[in-house]
Structure 1
């Protein structure tokens, strides 16, 4: 981040003031971008301060201003870089469609639809893991809190939750397309370890992250059930008429329950669909398949917003 000519008279004189100025300069930007920028700035300034013992924060900020930049310049660079990176990472957009039919069937050409579907299936496993980790870690830590080892365990547990929130954020960003932090919260290096521990316990995002991880189990069950059920029914409705037409199944075989493909001792593989209804069933299956794709993509967008709200700190930097 080069700035050939720098007026140091208007530079902040402390690292907290620099970060506060940078936060204000990034007002209106994505909260995940703000978190990344604040993390990078504090890490850089703190490391420069540690490498130059005996110099004040104001002197260090003035010395590195020409290489790192003033808060306003850093904010502009991050905004520009974000546009470049998001453009490079964004999957190819499907061709724009203006007709209603084009928009309806065009969902099949959207890569985000399939990544959302994969996330919904994967969420059952991640939901079980998150729920187990939170319940076990929290209960064990609280159970031992009156013993000497309980407090360190609780601190380690909260630290692990923050790490898991970053992992979940990467999954959400890659699969659902919602911008998530790529850096952890990093606003406490100038504070004592007791203050850092207090910040961890009083940070609203710590508790909202725990809530998110507990929610992931029921959400994962719902997502998995909806995706598997919807696509199984749609694909069976498509497959049954096709199997009848190519002679692989006999039409009109009575099935146990509401199923389209069944096994009959008398005629081998058959379906519960009479021959005259097979075209209607096929069209209904195709329609349900595309409705399911729209549902999956919509759930992915909503879940990305929920994850953004619960995992990303939007409060003012302090």
Structure 2
């Protein structure tokens, strides 16, 4: 249910304030909206805790001048987001118009190497995420019949949120996709059963868990693709050099036999490896974009206005 009051009117409760802030940020990046809502709710609830005898309306009215009205806070976050994004973004590679320029220009894009490193790292992170989710879910559900089962399940679901936040930071740093820098806000003074119910009814808990489980298969695929293509391309480039230096007598790739008797194959082999290496960089960049899109949709809550 939308509790937003009329635009321009001062909200009287924290949920109404957050609804107005969410509406004022409509159209912005949903990861940035999550950060803004977390900061606002944390600040307002801290003010409520510091003034126990004061109503929500009075607390919000008192902080409107220091923290700002929802529309003012939204403008500040939009301006800050632009400034921070410009400061954190690596220098954009020069635009190239020719086909060869676009093909070889991938080597000048820093995000290419971030995506390639993410593909190599994802085998370790994916294995850890999968093991954590499967083990944690099995233990917490299996122990629900005991008194320790409920707090254990709560801790497990909260750890899923924490892991999704950590993974989001990795994705933002290596793949360049804007991800939340704050978790979803949780009132620490709520009873365990209430917090557990909120985690169960929040769809982002389950999509984050799905993402962490999928990372096992995706990480294995990413790592295999990166290692295979890099190994083949670098081997093709190194083989003629090794033969020229006299350190090897033969190198077989499928039906191609690079013996000293067939020197005309040496430059062909080197060129094939060279082109395959740049093709691998393009593939890594496309995989990085796809995975950034996947992480954004599974790990970030879609704002409801």
- TM-score when scaled to structure 1? 0.89
Unmatched runs of 5 consecutive residues or more in structure 1: 1-8, 262-269
Deviation sequence 1:86-112 (CA, Å, 0-9, x none): 111111111221111111100001111
Tell me the matched-pair count.
298
Shift of 1:259: 9.2
Q: Does 1:196 align with 2:195?
A: yes
Q: Does 1:310 align with 2:298?
A: yes
Q: Does 1:135 align with 2:123?
A: no
Task: Give the alignment of 1:5-84 within 5 angstroms.
Answer: 10-84=9-83
Alpha-carbon distance in structure 2 between the residues aligned to 1:138 and 1:259: 50
Shift of 1:147: 1.5
Deviation sequence 1:54-81 (CA, Å, 0-9, x none): 1111111111111111100100100110
Residue 95 (structure 2) aligns with:
96
Deviation sequence 1:198-240 (CA, Å, 0-9, x none): 1101111101111101100111110000000001000011111
- Contact map agreement 1:26 1:75 (CA 8 A) in 2: yes
- Contact map agreement 2:154 2:192 (CA 8 A) in 1: no
Residue 157 (structure 1) aligns with:
156
Task: Give the alignment of 1:207-222 within 5 angstroms.
Answer: 207-222=206-221
Unmatched runs of 5 consecutive residues or more in structure 2: 1-7
Alpha-carbon distance in structure 2 between the residues aligned to 1:259 and 1:120: 30
Shift of 1:273: 8.7
Q: CA RMSD for the aligned pairs?
A: 2.0
Shift of 1:145: 1.0
What secondary structure, in the 3-state scheme, does the structure 1 residue paired with 2:264 have? helix
Residue 125 (structure 2) aligns with:
126
Shift of 1:242: 2.0
What secondary structure, in the 3-state scheme, does the structure 2 residue paired with 1:53 have? coil
- Contact map agreement 1:178 1:304 (CA 8 A) in 2: yes
Residue 228 (structure 1) aligns with:
227
Which of 277, 287, 294 is the aligned partner of 1:289?
277
What secondary structure, in the 3-state scheme, does the structure 1 residue paired with 2:284 have? helix
- Contact map agreement 1:130 1:213 (CA 8 A) in 2: yes
What secondary structure, in the 3-state scheme, does the structure 1 residue paired with 2:168 have? helix
Residue 240 (structure 1) aligns with:
239
Alpha-carbon distance in structure 2 between the residues aligned to 1:208 and 1:273: 59
Q: Which sits farther off after the overlay, 181-190 or 62-71?
A: 181-190
- Contact map agreement 1:22 1:75 (CA 8 A) in 2: yes
Alpha-carbon distance in structure 2 between the residues aligned to 1:145 and 1:272: 70
- Contact map agreement 1:254 1:272 (CA 8 A) in 2: no
Flag the 1:62–1:113 CA change in 2: closer, same or farther, 3 A: same
Which of 267, 272, 276 is the aligned partner of 1:279?
267
- TM-score when scaled to structure 2? 0.92
Deviation sequence 1:113-142 (CA, Å, 0-9, x none): 111111110100001100000000001111
- Contact map agreement 1:116 1:300 (CA 8 A) in 2: yes
Q: Which sits farther off after the overlay, 130-139 or 308-317?
A: 308-317
Alpha-carbon distance in structure 2 between the residues aligned to 1:97 and 1:121: 28
